[in-house]
Structure 1
Amino acid sequence: MRSRHLLLLPAACLLLALLPGWTAPAHAASGRLVDDYRSVYGTPGVAAAVIDGSSIETITRGRDGDGNPVTPRTRFRIASMSKSMTAAAIMLLADRDRVSLDDPVVRHLPAFTMADPRFTRITVRQLLSHTSGLSISTNDEYVFPPPRTAREVVAGLAGKTLAADPGTRPEYHNTNYSIAARIVEVVSGRDFDAFLRAELFEPLGMTGTGSTLGCSDRAEGLSSGYEVVLGLAVATAEMPGSCVGNGGVISTLDDMVRWLRFNQGTLGTSLLSARSLAEMHTVQPRAAGYALGWQARPASAGSPAPVIGHGGTLATWTGDMAFAPATGVGALVLTNSGGAPGLLAANLLAERAGAPATPMDNPLTVVNAVLLGLTVVMAALLVTAAVRARRWATRRRAARRPRLVLRLAPLALVTVSGVLLPALIGIQSGAFSFQYWIVVAWLMPLLALFSLTCCALGAVALARRLWCLRRAATASG
């Protein structure tokens, strides 16, 4: 009787392995990689998984924004990993002959217009592969307040131009996916979140997954993410932004495992045709390695199989997903703070392949330490300049005007630099706006503090020197 039970044990284990929710115990090496990552980046909460054939290994560490332990059912914002779901929604419509990837966008969105005649040539495929010609240089995505709906995003393009001919140059631009979300809404007759829930999430058993229009919208069961600076983690609201179609999905580790298995072709096989699923994972022409909501990644050392994946980054949430179509091995990482989850996902895949892990290092630790040091030094110098302004003015009350201007120029330069520095962040992508102060305050708070110190204390020191000069001149007159 006992021998019969022993014979049945392998079969029972195989059956469990095939169940969607079955998870294997965490490998010690995988757990160490997650622990090392948290140590390097100060991440408060991590939920990770490795899928290897029919087994699913999960690793959860830390806490959510409410202080509760992270579990496989903890909700995370998945940011730009949402793009794979928008692409799948389009492919569902393509399977039903409602949309073709090579249709002009204007065929499905008559209200879509731009101040550039080339916009009529943009196709659905070019939206999903970021080759539409839309660019941050001509369409600033960091405006405040941000547009709320996909309809508003499309309407806001009426006065904009393209940076390149459609289909000729890749540029990752979130607006592409908001337009794609609007196509889903118009063609299906349902709002975007309702379509995703009914056509993707519910059929795949992703019961903890939904989406929001804004990046900072409240959602049931979602606690706040964290800002982590020099090891100090502070629960913080997400930066406002338009996330519809491009980054608004909220999910759990359990559900994202289902999503990855669907893309691997082992779950929900009747939901999307094999041809459409393969198209989503195929690098598109002139797209610099981008497929449709997925990206090709170079194979890591010791793992020759090609890997596709996609990361997601918001101010207080980051994540990554990747898998090798040839081997069936995949990795998922969800975190509730900034960091480099793509590196952790790559290391989890490398560990499973028996390859060495890439050392983890957080360059922001040095950057933030330098910024903090500069802020302290600058604050000390400017406060000293303000306190000693009367003595400075007394010594220079008889100086000629040109010399005084030169003496005051450094303080004026510090003040103006403090005002402009956050706004100049957008110059690298062709945009200049004082609204980037908001972006910098969320993404690099110590840079914002340094800039605020320069402009505020610099202005105080400059004003006090001018006031003291005037008083000194009056007294001597």
Structure 2
Amino acid sequence: MNTPRMLPAFPTRSSGAARLVLTLAVLVATAVPGAPPVRADTGAEGLVDAYRSAYDTPGMAVAVIDGSSDETILRGHDGDGEAVTEDTRFRIASMSKPMTAAAVMLLVERGDFALDDPVVDVLPEFTMADPRSREITVRQLLSHTSGLSITTNNEYAFPPPRSAADVVAELSDKELAADPGERWEYHNTNYSVAARIVEEVSGEPYNAFLASELFAPLGMDDTTATLGCSDPAEGLASGYEVVLGAAVAVPEMPGRCVGNGGVVSTLGDMVRWVRFNQGALDTGLLSEESLEEMHAAQPGAEEYGLGWEVRPDPAGGDAPLVAHGGTLATWTGDMAFVPDTGTAVVVLTNGVGAPSLLTNNLLAERAGVETTPMNNPLTIVNAVLLGLTLAAGALLTTAVVRARRWALRRRGARRPRVVLRLIPLGLVTALGLFLPTLIGAQGGSFSFQYWIVVVWLMPLLVLFSAVCLVLGAVALTRRIWCYRRLR
């Protein structure tokens, strides 16, 4: 589920899919009056409770780090009904990207290659139909400036590839959307290629390299990496679909997560990860210079570093945040720290939401700055979709039942006029067929496979589309059949 830069209310993960969900939410939320925002009580716990109330999140694990101390806030339960603890496992989605970047930097520091080396020199199997691909550097992969794009490489094709090698092989007939280094576009495949570089150079599988060379030295003993977004992991319960307050534990949507979103971790381990990036763990794993390079905005990459985002400080400080969010269909999370102060926040949830909003509020509250009331626009979107589905179902069922009466009234009419009368039903049917595909079309990629994506991202949109498509087609067919019989 991948994101180009999105509005602040929705975390980064996947490109067009999450962006369209947010766009729909904002459009409908501004057009339809909704419930008032949830205002938080004072303190970090009040902010977490306000967020959970707004998004109906089943389980949350949050840490607010201040220097050498941290405040842990645990709420709710996992997909097996067990209470959330510091050791509860969560999928961290695109918060995995900084870990892939760190793995690459380990190899760079060992002298295996340089950040500005062409990918083809480091990974000879990397080939594309576009000759410009030979100019892509490792740095450009990690900063999303390679020219890879959803417009020429559909990351939501089913079945998804099983490994980093498969992702690289799929690129052999693909084109670039821009010259390498010309523009920034968040595209998960960049990090799957980076994961394949780690495998090729180290001689180890990607997940094994992370386990032995990154997680073990940092003491992240409960963290592992999966290749697919829905691959099982030891101790990991299902995440949740949450619609209008109803939470249902469901398997994660299948997808290509190797290198870009497949890490499974715990709050305790993620606190260690953030502390390492703050330079607070004396492991000697990466040099201070390498960490600073990862955290700094890269050339042509807008506000993106090497696996990290650079965000404005919600407390109004001059130093920006170093941060990254993560969004899958049933998991969301966010992490951010202020390099100069040692203040940081980690948010892990097993439902859909906007954890970056909570991160900003927690940092603002810690700095004594006014926080933002919590509001979930998807609640309004889903309520509107449910109402539209019920209305469409009633109207189209009536059209099916009264098809013969409709034909009787028009049996003497000329055919062109009858055809005109059928156009509204045809449009409703077409709307049902094509509406889920807009998730890809708005990003330049069209496929009916996006129906599968929308089943996870917005189930009520699929229900509305299915009602329009099926009942619209039945009503249209029955009207034509009745008209021809009476003629």
Task: Tell me the TM-score normalised to structure 2 length.
Answer: 0.90
Deviations 1:183-241 (A, max 9, x none): 00000000000000000111111111001110011111111000111111111111110
CA contact (8 A) 1:213 1:242 kept: yes
For residues 192-231 of structure 1, the aligned pairs below 5 Å read: 192-231=206-245
8 Å contact 1:303–1:350 — kept in the other structure? Answer: no
Distance, in Å, in 2 between the alignment partners of 1:121 and 1:101 is 13
The counterpart of 1:427, out of the listed 441, 450, 454, is: 441
Alpha-carbon distance between aligned partners in 2 of 1:163 and 1:359, rounded to the nearest angstrom: 39
Aligned to 1:414: 428
The aligned residue for residue 400 of structure 1 is 414
Give the equivalent residue in structure 1 for 2:177: 163
Q: CA deviation at 1:425?
A: 2.2
Aligned partner of residue 243 in structure 1, secondary structure: coil
Alignment of 1:357 with 2:371, yes or no, is yes
Query: Relative to 1, partners in 2 of residues 1:195 and 1:268: Cα closer, same or farther, differing over 3 Å?
Result: farther
The answer as to 2:131 corresponding to 1:117 is yes
Q: Which has the higher contact order (CA 8 A, sep 6+)?
A: 2
Per the alignment, residue 35 of structure 2 pairs with none
Alignment deviations for residues 115-168 of structure 1 (CA, whole Å, 9 cap, x no partner): 111000000000000000101001110100011100000000000010111011
Consecutive unaligned residues in structure 1, runs of 5 or more: 1-26
| Aligned residue number for residue 288 of structure 1 | 302
Partner of 1:148: 162
SS of match in other structure, 1:61: strand
Residue 30 in structure 1 maps to residue 44 in structure 2: yes
* Deviation larger for 261-270 or 224-233: 261-270
What does the per-residue CA deviation read over 1:348-373, in whole Å, with 9 as the maximum and x for residues that have no partner? 11111111111111111111111111
Contact 1:90 1:99 in 2 (8 A): no
1:459 aligns with one of 473, 476, 482 = 473
Supply the AA of the counterpart residue of 1:353.
A
| Amino acid aligned to 1:118 | R
After superposition, what is the alpha-carbon deviation per residue over 1:54-88, rounded to whole angstroms, capped at 9, x for unaligned? Answer: 10111000010011111010000000000000000
Match of 2:396 among 377, 382, 393: 382
- Which letter maps to 2:74? T
Output the CA distance in 2 between the equivalents of 1:415 and 1:134. Answer: 35
Listed as ranges, the matches of 1:311-350 within 5 Å are 311-350=325-364
Deviates more, 1:49-58 or 1:27-36: 27-36
For residues 19-78 of structure 1, what are the alpha-carbon distances to aligned partners after superposition, in whole Å with 9 as ceiling and x for unaligned? xxxxxxxx9711111100010001000000011001011100001001111101000000
**Aligned residue type for 1:286:** G
Query: Which residue of the partner structure matches residue 70 of structure 2?
Result: 56
Q: What is the number of equivalent residue pairs in this alignment?
A: 447
- 1:263 equivalent in alignment to 2:271: no
Q: Give the C-alpha shift of residue 302 in structure 1.
A: 4.4
* Equivalent residue number for residue 77 of structure 1: 91
* 3-state SS of 2:324 partner: strand
Larger Rg: 1
In 1, Cα distance between the equivalents of 2:354 and 2:318?
A: 22
Q: How does 1:92-111 map to 2 (within 5 A)?
A: 92-111=106-125
Counterpart secondary structure, 1:157: helix
Deviation at residue 318 of structure 1 after TM alignment: 0.3
With the length of structure 1 as denominator, give the TM-score of the two structures: 0.92
- Unmatched tracts of structure 2, length 5 or more: 1-40
Q: Structure 1 CA distance, aligned partners of 2:178 and 2:362?
A: 38
Task: Give the conservation status (yes or no) of the 8 Å contact 1:214–1:248.
Answer: yes
- Cα distance in 2, alignment partners of residues 351 and 305 from structure 1: 17
What does 1:177-188 align with in structure 2 at a 5 Å threshold? Answer: 177-188=191-202
Identical positions, percent: 70
Counterpart AA for 1:192: Y
Superposition deviation, residue 468 in structure 1: 1.6
Instruction: Report if aligned partners of 1:78, 1:334 keep a CA contact under 8 Å in 2.
Output: yes
CA distance in 2, matches of 1:73, 1:307: 26
| 1:204 and 1:268 in contact (8 A); partners too | no
- The CA distance in 2 between the partners of 1:94 and 1:384, in whole Å, is 67
In structure 2, C-alpha distance between the alignment counterparts of 1:96 and 1:28, rounded to whole Å:
48
Hey, what does 1:446 align to over in structure 2? 460
The answer as to whether partners of 1:31 and 1:59 remain within 8 angstroms in 2 is: yes
SS in 2 for 1:407: helix
Q: Once the 2 structures are TM-superposed, how far is the Cα of residue 424 of structure 1 from its aligned partner?
A: 2.2
Tell me the SS of whatever aligns to 1:227. strand
Give the ranges of 4+ consecutive aligned residues of structure 1 lying more than 6 Å apart after TM superposition: none
Matched residue, 1:20: none
Match of 1:253 among 267, 275, 298: 267
- CA change 1:124–1:302 in 2 (3 A) is closer
Equivalents in 2 of 1:166, 1:99: separation in Å?
A: 19
Once residues 203 and 430 of structure 1 are traced to their aligned partners in structure 2, the CA distance between those partners, rounded to angstroms, is 42
Q: Helix, strand or coil: the match of 1:429?
A: coil
1:297/1:307 contact within 8 Å kept: yes
